[in-house]
């Protein structure tokens, strides 16, 4: 079985993002970029399926600027086999990403696509669902456990107040939640080995996909600053403040 894992290069989760003064977006100048954490979990899950003998090949694909090659290399160093970079400097919205991924699926014929449940930059949580719809494949989103057997994927999903288990007929789309696994760090020998693994570079036009944006960002603003707390003398005072100042009870 071949597994396709789309990985996105995003602002590192440790970075405190700053909004640009003109409110058009966040400042990306000199900011550390890394693989989206949910995509790392997707890569790890694919590698575990390969280690179990369920999968033979893991192909990672990233849509983004030339530097997204580093993100692909990280996945190759973790244990993926080869990469595809669909290079573009434009911001590509989830629908266009899903269309490009569909074209890659048509070419590569994987039996499983494992994506992150969301990218932590745009927080869209759309690409996996759109890809499943375009392919007309079953989908298991927010997976906290995945088992493959007899041409089916058993996917446990984290839903409000509990867990839901689905049985999907392969080929299928799965998106990863935080508790699915803990991604490994690449060892130095594997980082060296990854340098020799192949990465194909393509352009969106190679797949005939129009990536022109359909959405306009009106503005991006900082969250309101948190005000300092105060100490109250008694429960009565606390209740009074909650009622008359905060207006929450
Ligand atoms: P989103 O729908 O943007 O929150 O992203 C969900 C998932 O879709 C990510 O975790 C990736 O697996 C995949 N994805 C989104 N954008 C890209 C991209 N530019 N390149 C590769 N994969 C992507």
This prediction has a pTM of: 0.92
Is 230 within the bounds of a domain?
Answer: no
Is 244 within the bounds of a domain?
Answer: no
How many CA atoms lie within 13 Å of 240's alpha carbon, on the beta-carbon side? 6
- Burial category of 167 from C-beta neighbours within 10 Å (exposed 0-12, middle 13-18, buried 19 and up): middle
Longest dimension (CA), the chain: 69
Residues 207, 101 contacting (CB under 8 angstroms):
no
User: What pLDDT score does 224 carry?
Assistant: 87
In terms of residue numbers, what domain contains 68?
2-221
Instruction: Say how many Å lie between the CA of residue 88 and the centre of ligand 1.
Output: 14
- Tens digit of each residue's pLDDT (9 = 90 or more) over 67-89: 999 999 999 999 999 999 999 99
Interatomic CA distance for residues 206 and 64, integer angstroms:
14
Q: What is the mean pLDDT of residues 134-143?
A: 98
Q: Does 158 have pLDDT greater than 90? A: no
Please tell me the least confidently modeled range out of 143-152, 165-174, 227-236: 227-236
Ligand 1 in reach of 131 Cβ (< 6 A): no
Is 172 within the bounds of a domain?
Answer: yes
Instruction: Say how many Å lie between the CA of residue 39 and the centre of ligand 1.
Output: 8
Distances (CA, A) of 237 to 41, 123, 233, 243: 47, 40, 7, 10
Is 235 within the bounds of a domain?
Answer: no
Count helices and strands in the chain by DSSP H and E runs: 6, 11
- Tens digit of each residue's pLDDT (9 = 90 or more) over 209-227: 999 999 999 999 998 888 8
Q: Are strands 172-176 and 112-116 parallel, antiparallel or unpaired?
A: parallel
Is 133 within the bounds of a domain?
Answer: yes
Ligand 1 in reach of 37 Cβ (< 6 A): no
Q: Does 1 have pLDDT greater than 90? A: yes
Instruction: Say how many Å lie between the CA of residue 136 and the centre of ligand 1.
Output: 18
CATH number at residue 109: 3.40.50.620
Pull the structure tokens for residue 142. Answer: 């927010």
Is 69 within the bounds of a domain?
Answer: yes
Pull the structure tokens for residue 31. Answer: 């900011």
Q: What is the mean pLDDT of residues 157-163?
A: 91
Is 110 within the bounds of a domain?
Answer: yes
Is 38 within the bounds of a domain?
Answer: yes
pLDDT band at 24; cut points 50, 70, 90 = very high
Ligand 1 in reach of 97 Cβ (< 6 A): yes
Pull the structure tokens for residue 67. Answer: 């530097």
| Structural domains of the chain, count | 1
């Amino acid at each position: 079985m071949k597994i396709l894992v789309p990985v996105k290069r995003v602002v590192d989760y440790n970075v405190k993002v700053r909004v640009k003064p003109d409110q058009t977006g966040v400042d990306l100048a000199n900011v550390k970029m890394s693989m989206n954490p949910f995509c790392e979990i997707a890569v790890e899950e694919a590698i575990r399926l390969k280690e179990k003998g369920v999968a033979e090949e893991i192909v990672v694909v990233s849509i983004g600027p030339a530097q997204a090659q580093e993100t692909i290399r990280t996945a190759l160093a973790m244990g993926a086999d080869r990469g595809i970079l669909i290079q573009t400097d434009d911001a590509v919205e989830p629908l266009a990403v899903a269309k490009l991924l569909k074209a890659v699926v048509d070419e590569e014929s994987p039996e499983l696509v494992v994506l992150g449940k969301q990218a932590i930059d745009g927080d869209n949580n759309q690409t996996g669902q759109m890809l499943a719809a375009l392919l007309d494949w079953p989908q298991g989103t927010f997976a906290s456990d995945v088992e493959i057997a007899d041409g089916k994927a058993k996917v446990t999903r984290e839903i409000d107040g509990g867990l839901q288990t689905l049985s999907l007929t392969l080929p299928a789309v799965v998106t990863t939640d935080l508790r699915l696994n803990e991604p490994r760090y690449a060892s130095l020998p594997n980082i060296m080995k990854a340098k020799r693994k192949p990465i194909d570079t393509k352009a969106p036009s190679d797949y005939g996909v129009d990536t022109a944006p359909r959405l306009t960002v009106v503005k991006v603003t900082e969250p309101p600053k948190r005000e300092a707390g105060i100490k109250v003398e008694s429960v009565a005072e606390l209740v009074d403040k909650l009622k008359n100042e905060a207006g929450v009870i």
